[in-house]
């Protein structure tokens, strides 16, 4: 073979090898990335035309696919849109959010656990179907949370309810809400316009405040401070005497903080009275005596500074500052300075106390089902941490019961049921309205539900904003719904 022919042969061989390498890269190495690329319209067209699985609450589908009369064959429909939008999210031609996003592989039928189903569909020449996702939500609790929160004029806020013994999320409401059907429409121009309007709405309806908004938890954080004091042995029980008085001067500072007119004694009071009357002077002094490190350890035992909820994304991480000087540490004791929490986090604090000091990992997806309703996966309750001893949890429960029966949390009282609760009102800024918080669980001696209510904004005058007044009735409605269901 002469040299020119040999050169051409080598060149053609190299071209062939390059072609094979490129095909291998596209079909195998980069296949997954290309498949998920938002510019890949063929994949999106196929997914949009599929009989997507339902999202279930109890026996009812809150998101389902129904036949359409256009090229996409199926239309996504949300049956109770405003009630469940923060949970379901939306499925559109452009994107997905909420459960539609995190459980997309199951709902679309692409999950490896549905391989046999896809194979049968292929052999029988039928369109592939998606699997179902069964949620932990209690429909009565969800409706009670939504209706009672919505009754607050101009409300921006959230409610989370958890089953303390398992970590099941029984209710998750965020207001203002939105209609996911507006994005699911096959009119793509309208879908994009609707999304843009919601995105720029000052009320931020697309924001799931239950897990994405973190605010100073105010006096509800005093439960964490009290937990640290009892766990450390600084005080034996809630009958122990703690610092009281009408005013506390921050260490290394001239700033003085009072109790907002609440009765906190002139010197020493019991920890029960300090919790029931939400005495700032008590918990500022306790936090200063404990010190930063012990408070941080206790906060983190409840879930601060970590991620623990995987069923919805994104999640805002609740924060206890990793560094603080003495006056700043004292302020953290009453849930101020740089302490911030999501409603889910504060529900976990209440649930941990209710569950004898054991915090369970919260979850929203109960079961994953095939199109034929075979169970593919079942979530098992998992212990997140032991935040306190059972003795500490029992002592805190006693004080929280008094807080409802004769303290600041009285609006959450339920006739014939012992309710444990704690109020919180956090400062925003000098020219802004305060935030109202409320956490509770019931029945106190056999907890079935723990609730956190956060009111970020409302049309209520600032002087009337208090955790018990605004959040107490909401928490009571949710607890009654769970115990009555």
Residue pair 326/414 in contact (Cβ under 8 Å)? The answer is no
Rounded to whole angstroms, how far apart are CA atoms 121 and 132?
A: 17
Residues 6+ apart with CB under 8 A from 158: 86, 149, 172, 173, 174, 175, 208, 209, 210, 213, 343, 453, 454, 456
pLDDT at residue 237 above 60? yes
Give the count of beta carbons closer than 10 Å to the beta carbon of residue 58: 13
More confident residue, 371 or 4: 371
Residue 259 confidence (pLDDT): 93
Fold designation for 213-365+380-484: Beta-lactamase (3.40.710)
* Whole-number average pLDDT of the chain: 90
Where along the chain do its domains lie? Answer: 213-365+380-484
Chain centroid to Cα 376, Å, comes to 25
pLDDT at residue 30 above 80? no
Residue pair 407/416 in contact (Cβ under 8 Å)? The answer is no
DSSP 357-406: TEEEPPB-EEEEE-TT--EEEEPPP-EEEE-S-HHHHHHHHHHHHHHHHH
Residue pair 399/226 in contact (Cβ under 8 Å)? The answer is yes
More confident residue, 286 or 260: 286
pLDDT tier at 119, thresholds 50, 70, 90: low
Average pLDDT of span 145-160: 96
Residue pair 90/100 in contact (Cβ under 8 Å)? The answer is yes
Average pLDDT of span 455-477: 82
**Which among 92, 177, 191, 219 is annotated as catalytic?**
219
Task: Please state which of the ranges 14-28, 84-98, 349-363, 443-457 shows the lowest mean pLDDT.
Answer: 14-28
Strand runs labelled E in 179-285: 241-243, 247-249, 256-258, 268-270
pTM of the model: 0.89
Give the count of beta carbons closer than 10 Å to the beta carbon of residue 193: 12
Instruction: Please name the helix (run of DSSP H) or strand (run of DSSP E) that holds residue 139, with its range, or none.
Output: helix 139-150
What does the CA dihedral 195, 197, 201, 206 come to, rounded to 10 degrees? Answer: -10
Q: Is 219 a catalytic site residue?
A: yes
Residue 113 confidence (pLDDT): 76
């Amino acid at each position: 073979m002469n040299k020119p022919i040999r050169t051409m042969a080598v060149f053609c061989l190299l071209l062939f090898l390059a072609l094979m390498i490129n095909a291998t890269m596209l079909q195998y190495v980069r296949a997954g990335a290309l498949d998920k690329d938002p510019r890949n319209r063929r994949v999106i067209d196929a997914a949009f035309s599929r009989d997507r699985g339902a999202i279930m609450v109890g026996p009812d589908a809150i998101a389902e696919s129904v036949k359409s009369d256009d090229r996409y064959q199926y239309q996504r429909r949300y049956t109770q849109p405003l009630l469940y939008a923060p949970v379901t999210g939306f499925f559109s031609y452009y994107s997905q959010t909420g459960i539609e996003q995190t459980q997309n592989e199951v709902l679309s039928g692409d999950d490896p656990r549905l391989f046999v189903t896809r194979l049968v569909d292929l052999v029988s020449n039928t369109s592939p179907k998606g699997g179902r996702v069964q949620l932990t939500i209690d429909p009565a609790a969800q409706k009670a949370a939504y209706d009672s929160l919505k009754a607050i004029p101009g409300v921006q806020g959230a409610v989370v309810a958890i089953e303390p013994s398992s970590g099941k999320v029984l209710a998750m409401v965020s207001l203002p809400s939105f209609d996911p059907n507006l994005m699911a429409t096959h009119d793509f121009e309208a879908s994009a316009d609707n999304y843009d309007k919601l995105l720029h709405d000052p009320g931020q309806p697309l924001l799931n405040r239950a897990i994405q908004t973190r605010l100073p938890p105010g006096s509800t954080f005093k439960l964490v401070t009290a937990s640290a004091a009892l766990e450390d042995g600084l005080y034996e029980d809630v009958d122990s005497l703690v610092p009281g008085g009408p005013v506390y001067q921050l260490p290394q500072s001239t700033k003085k903080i009072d109790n907002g007119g609440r009765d906190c004694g002139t010197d020493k009071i019991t920890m029960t009275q300090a919790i029931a009357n939400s005495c700032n002077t008590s918990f500022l002094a306790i936090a200063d005596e404990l010190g930063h490190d012990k408070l941080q350890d206790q906060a983190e035992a409840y879930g601060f500074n970590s991620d623990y909820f995987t069923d919805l994304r994104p999640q805002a991480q609740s924060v206890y500052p990793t560094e603080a000087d003495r006056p700043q540490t004292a302020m953290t004791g009453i849930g101020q300075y740089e302490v911030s929490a999501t409603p889910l986090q504060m529900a976990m604090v209440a649930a941990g106390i209710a569950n004898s000091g054991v915090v369970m990992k919260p979850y929203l997806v109960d079961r994953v089902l095939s199109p034929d309703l075979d169970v593919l996966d079942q979530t098992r309750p998992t212990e997140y941490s032991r935040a306190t001893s059972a003795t500490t949890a029992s002592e805190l429960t006693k004080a929280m019961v008094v807080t409802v029966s004769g303290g600041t949390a009285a609006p959450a009282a339920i006739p014939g049921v012992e309710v444990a609760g704690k109020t919180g009102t956090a400062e925003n800024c000098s020219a802004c309205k305060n935030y109202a918080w409320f956490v509770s669980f019931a029945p106190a001696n056999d907890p079935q539900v723990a609730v956190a209510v956060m009111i970020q904004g409302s049309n209520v005058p600032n002087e009337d904003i208090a955790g018990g007044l605004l959040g107490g009735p909401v928490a009571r409605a949710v607890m009654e719904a769970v115990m009555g269901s």
